[in-house]
Structure 1
Amino acid sequence: MNHDIQFLKELQNELKTQDNDCQASPRYWTVGDYEWVEVREENAERYSVYLPYIAEAYVLDDYLEGLKEDSELSKEALTELQEIEDDYDDVIEWIRKYIDEGAELIPERKVHIIQPDTMFLTKAEAKSHIKLNKHHYTSEAHTYAMTSWRAPKVERLLKILEMFDWSSITISK
């Protein structure tokens, strides 16, 4: 029991002294990150190319760079690629001609997401989670504060954790 009370005292201190990231109470932390999602062409920040014959998609610029460096393509095909690589319509036609006739361009945009199944009472715990689980996230993963809006039980619990006088408890042996 003493260990539990000591834990609650330390948690109380952390809750009272941690940065609130300009987020209203009751607050908790999650993992924020970014992912690329398919969008309409006019909203694209980049393109990926989908190659059905291998059922894989690649960031277009990286894919083209890899072809130039490691390609077994003819000089003629590589020269043709050099001439057209700034025109996406021509590039996809080139890929269909030399690589995969079913290839498709996918317009994409980077969006902020809140990773599912992440909820932490303290920012330090969220940071630790990201560090220990970085293989599940991008290099842009970060703590993200949120408010438990209109959640009276959560609000009451966090107030108790922050305000209760733990020294008033006597433990009988």
Structure 2
Amino acid sequence: MAYFHQNLKYHEDTKEKRNITKADIEFLKELQKERNTQDNCGTADVRTWVIKERKDYVTAEGHGDYYVLFDTESCDTLDLEDIYKILCVLELETDYYTGDIVINGLKFEDNVITFRYLGDEVSIREDNDNTDGIVIKGIDTDELISFFEEHGYDIRITNMAVGWKYEYCFLTQKAAENYLCKYGYNHSEDAHTYCICTYRDPEIARLMEIIETVDWDKI
């Protein structure tokens, strides 16, 4: 169910009005040309552009696209360097019941951690498609986390789902790209321009119809 504001009030229009200028007309003509000649990106009218970027979120087990390891002590996710440091501390630790060495042959090369866990070959690498995500092969992740916990580390498996957010609104693709070139440092590396259809907004639809079809030379 949508939420509607109950206490919004109109106020007097105090904006000072002026006559349209030649510079205004030139701006509208250039905007008209840009909107009428730019790529439609396979999107129906009325087109506007936004900045689209990743906004992943925590989800329940069985519903995630990937997972991260979260250290409750530092309140941060673990990257490969963090995991490697923990493994270095625990290398050559022995199993309480059997006396067997649990972790040995530890290496960290080419951005991949490899080691033997109770004789089985294990590798840990980054999930290239997902920030902070990791991929563990050769051992069940729960088993490795349990081994960490036995030695005083409080690390949780956090399931993540891929999500996207949309910000701002631009009348042209060029304006959206110019914004991203100038302020891209405020966004993630996944940020990009994205064309959307806003035909359900009659005010935007009417405004764009005026911009795109009026003969501004006759104003």
- TM-score norm. by structure 2 comes to 0.65
Of 100, 108, 120, the match for 2:153: 100
Q: Does 1:7 align with 2:27?
A: yes
Q: Does 1:34 align with 2:59?
A: no
Identical columns (%): 25
Q: Alpha carbons of 1:88 and 1:29: their partners in 2 closer, same or farther (altered >3 Å)? A: same
Of 165, 172, 197, the match for 1:114: 165
Alignment coverage as a number of residue pairs: 162
Q: Distance in 1 between the 2:199 and 2:35 partners? A: 18
Question: Is contact 2:170-2:176 (8 Å) kept?
Answer: yes
Residue 49 (structure 1) shift = 1.7
Indicate the structure whose relative CO is greater, using CA pairs within 8 Å and at least 6 residues apart.
Answer: 1
Q: Distance in 2 between the 1:87 and 1:71 partners? A: 16
Q: Distance in 2 between the 1:54 and 1:24 partners? A: 48
Q: Distance in 1 between the 2:40 and 2:88 partners? A: 55
Q: Distance in 1 between the 2:85 and 2:74 partners? A: 20
Q: Distance in 1 between the 2:23 and 2:165 partners? A: 33
SS of equivalent to 2:89: coil
Residue 150 (structure 1) shift = 2.3
**1:140 aligned partner:** 190
Return 5+ residue gaps in structure 1 as ranges: none
Q: Distance in 2 between the 1:162 and 1:136 partners? A: 32
Question: Is contact 2:60-2:159 (8 Å) kept?
Answer: yes
Bigger strand share: 2
Residue 12 (structure 1) shift = 0.5
Residue 99 (structure 1) shift = 5.3
Bigger helix share: 1
Q: Distance in 2 between the 1:124 and 1:99 partners? A: 54
Q: Does 1:89 align with 2:105?
A: no
Spell out, residue by residue over 1:32-81, the C-alpha distance to the aligned partner (whole angstroms, 9 max, x if none): 122322223223332112222112123xxx34x54326865143258267
Residue 131 (structure 1) shift = 2.0
Q: Does 1:73 align with 2:97?
A: no
Question: Is contact 1:33-1:142 (8 Å) kept?
Answer: yes
Q: Alpha carbons of 1:37 and 1:26: their partners in 2 closer, same or farther (altered >3 Å)? A: same
Q: Distance in 1 between the 2:145 and 2:52 partners? A: 34
Of 106, 111, 123, the match for 2:173: 123
Q: Which protein is bigger by CA-based radius of gyration?
A: 2
Return 5+ residue gaps in structure 2 as ranges: 1-20, 94-101, 105-114, 123-135
Residue 126 (structure 1) shift = 0.9
Q: Does 1:167 align with 2:183?
A: no
Question: Is contact 1:30-1:114 (8 Å) kept?
Answer: no
The letter for the 1-side match of 2:205 is E
SS of equivalent to 1:42: coil
